[in-house]
Amino acid sequence: MISLPKYLLTIYMTIKETLLARRIYLLLGILFITSLVVSNLIFKKFFYFYPIETPIFGVQLFEVSVGILPYPITFLITDLISEIYGKQKANEVVVGGVFASFFAMGIVFIANRVPATDWSPVSDGMFSEVFGSTSVAVLASMLAYSVCPVYRYSNLPLLETTHKRKTPLATK
């Protein structure tokens, strides 16, 4: 068995940990972008959740878009990335999500413009009804992400009280 000097083992562990940190960052980025794009595509379906059965002014509470389901995940992921890897890495993921959302919006726009065949199970009208407002969702989503980072990246009170890291993991 070959015995390596201790300094080589330390370097090996550092490289191994760095690779793991990069993989985790990539996975978090992929989950963020997927959640953001999917929430913009599925927003036209609504569901109900009635924790209180009493309608207020004749309207049931908590009838909301299914787009709300993946969207909070995006905020959680950016907060995690900001805390672990730093604000710059969180901003990079958000910019990637913005790019992916506009790219998806462009694809949906083109798909909406090309005519469906006679034998297509999805007609032009149905496709337009479901995906025709995607640009509204993307623009609303981008508005939320342009307003919220002012607060989100500067205040993480729960994490700050339990964990104080002087430098982000990405700089190690």
Residue 3 is predicted with a pLDDT of: 63
Residue 157 is predicted with a pLDDT of: 47
Residue 162 in this model has a pLDDT that exceeds 80:
no
91, burial (CB in 10 Å: exposed 0-12, middle 13-18, buried 19+): middle
Q: What is the residue range of 95's domain?
A: 6-171
Residue 2 is predicted with a pLDDT of: 60
pLDDT digits (tens, 9 = 90+) for 13-60: 578 888 898 999 999 999 999 999 998 888 888 888 776 677 778 776
Tally of domains in the chain: 1
Residue 145 lies inside a defined structural domain of this protein: yes
Q: pTM of the entire structure?
A: 0.73
Residue 75 lies inside a defined structural domain of this protein: yes
Residue 1 lies inside a defined structural domain of this protein: no
Those residues with Cβ within 8 angstroms of residue 83's Cβ, 6 or more apart along the chain or in another chain? 156, 159, 163, 165
- Stronger pLDDT, 136 or 92, i.e. the higher one: 92
